[in-house]
Structure 1
Amino acid sequence: MWSKRARLVSFYTFVILVLVFFSVHFLFGRNRFQVTFRHKKVAIAVTRAKYMPLSKHDLLCELKNRVWFKTLPSTEGPFKALNYSQLEPKDTLYQLHHDGFKTCAAVMNSAAILGSNLGEEIDSHDAVMRFNSAPLSEQYKADIGAKTTLRLMNSQLLANPSYNFFTDPIYRNITMIVWDPAAYTGDMQEWYENPDANFFSSYEKRRKMFPQENLYITDPRFYWELWDVLQENTEAMIHPNPPSSGFQGIAIMLSLCNQLDVYEFLPSERISVKCHYYEKWNLNPACTLGWWHDLRAEKYFVLRMNLGTKDDVTKKGKLECYTMSNTSHKRAQTFDFYSVSSTSLHSC
Structure 2
Amino acid sequence: MYFSRNTDFVAQLLLNLRYRRLRTSHLVIFNFVIHLPGMFTPMWSKRARLVFFYLCVILVLTFIFVHFLFNGNRFQVTFRHKKVAIAVTRAKYMPLSKHDLLCELKNRVWFKTLPSTEGPFKALNYSLLEPKNTLYQLHHDGFKTCAAVMNSAAILGSNLGEEIDSHDAVMRFNNAPLSEEYRADIGVKTTLRLMNSQLLADPSFNFFTDPIYRNITMIVWDPAAYTGDMEEWYQNPDANFFSSYEQRRRMFPRENLYITDPRFYWELWDVLQENTEAMIHPNPPSSGFQGIAVMLSLCDQLDVYEFVPSERISMKCHYYEKWKLNPACTLGWWHDLRAEKYFILRMNQGTKDDITKKGKVTLSGYRANDCKATSHAPALTSLNRGLQLPSRN
Give the TM-score normalised by the residue count of structure 1: 0.87
| C-alpha contact (below 8 Å) 1:88/1:207 kept by paired residues | yes
Partner of 2:336: 294
| 1:175-196 CA distance string (max 9 Å, x none) | 0000000000000000000000
Within the alignment, does 1:99 sit opposite 2:141 as a pair?
Answer: yes
**Secondary structure at 1:184 match in 2:** coil
Partner of 2:368: 325
Please, which of 168, 173, 191 is the counterpart of residue 131 of structure 1? 173
How many angstroms apart in 2 are the aligned matches of 1:29 and 1:89? 35
Q: Which amino acid is the alignment partner of residue 258 of structure 1? A: D
| C-alpha contact (below 8 Å) 2:116/2:127 kept by paired residues | yes
Partner of 2:267: 225
**Secondary structure at 2:114 match in 1:** coil
Q: Which amino acid is the alignment partner of residue 55 of structure 1? A: S
Partner of 1:53: 95
Q: Which amino acid is the alignment partner of residue 221 of structure 2? A: W
Quick one: structure 1 residues 55 and 230, their matched pair in 2 at CA, closer, same or farther if it must change by over 3 Å?
same
Q: Displacement, 1:322?
A: 1.6
Q: Displacement, 1:282?
A: 1.2
Partner of 1:238: 280
How many angstroms apart in 2 are the aligned matches of 1:333 and 1:251? 15
| C-alpha contact (below 8 Å) 1:28/1:240 kept by paired residues | no
Please, which of 96, 117, 140 is the counterpart of residue 75 of structure 1? 117
How many angstroms apart in 2 are the aligned matches of 1:266 and 1:337? 30
- Gaps of at least 5 residues in structure 2 are 1-53, 370-383
Quick one: structure 1 residues 237 and 25, their matched pair in 2 at CA, closer, same or farther if it must change by over 3 Å?
farther
How many angstroms apart in 2 are the aligned matches of 1:336 and 1:36? 33
Across the aligned residues of Structure 1 and Structure 2, the Cα RMSD in angstroms comes to: 2.6
How many angstroms apart in 1 are the aligned matches of 2:234 and 2:204? 23
Please, which of 254, 257, 274 is the counterpart of residue 212 of structure 1? 254
Q: Which amino acid is the alignment partner of residue 70 of structure 1? A: K
How many angstroms apart in 2 are the aligned matches of 1:337 and 1:286? 39
Partner of 2:221: 179
| C-alpha contact (below 8 Å) 2:170/2:191 kept by paired residues | yes
Q: Displacement, 1:281?
A: 1.3
How many angstroms apart in 1 are the aligned matches of 2:70 and 2:86? 15
| C-alpha contact (below 8 Å) 2:136/2:389 kept by paired residues | no
Q: Which amino acid is the alignment partner of residue 269 of structure 1? A: E
How many angstroms apart in 1 are the aligned matches of 2:102 and 2:281? 22
Within the alignment, does 1:252 sit opposite 2:252 as a pair?
Answer: no
Partner of 1:202: 244
**Equivalent residues in 2 for 1:2-151 (5 A)?**
26=68, 30-40=72-82, 41-45=84-88, 47-151=89-193
Q: Which amino acid is the alignment partner of residue 43 of structure 1? A: I
Within the alignment, does 1:154 sit opposite 2:196 as a pair?
Answer: yes
Q: Which amino acid is the alignment partner of residue 65 of structure 1? A: N
How many angstroms apart in 2 are the aligned matches of 1:337 and 1:303? 27
Quick one: structure 1 residues 27 and 43, their matched pair in 2 at CA, closer, same or farther if it must change by over 3 Å?
farther
Q: Displacement, 1:25?
A: 8.5
Within the alignment, does 1:274 sit opposite 2:316 as a pair?
Answer: yes
| C-alpha contact (below 8 Å) 1:64/1:337 kept by paired residues | no
Quick one: structure 1 residues 53 and 84, their matched pair in 2 at CA, closer, same or farther if it must change by over 3 Å?
same
How many angstroms apart in 1 are the aligned matches of 2:71 and 2:246? 36
Q: Which amino acid is the alignment partner of residue 214 of structure 1? A: N
**Secondary structure at 2:175 match in 1:** coil
Q: Displacement, 1:49?
A: 4.2
How many angstroms apart in 1 are the aligned matches of 2:264 and 2:282? 15
How many angstroms apart in 1 are the aligned matches of 2:69 and 2:154? 27
How many angstroms apart in 1 are the aligned matches of 2:346 and 2:69? 25
**Secondary structure at 1:43 match in 2:** coil
**Secondary structure at 1:321 match in 2:** strand
Q: Displacement, 1:336?
A: 9.0
Give the TM-score normalised by the residue count of structure 2: 0.77
- Gaps of at least 5 residues in structure 1 are 1-11, 339-348
Q: Percent identity?
A: 85
How many angstroms apart in 1 are the aligned matches of 2:226 and 2:134? 24
Quick one: structure 1 residues 23 and 239, their matched pair in 2 at CA, closer, same or farther if it must change by over 3 Å?
farther
How many angstroms apart in 2 are the aligned matches of 1:161 and 1:325? 41
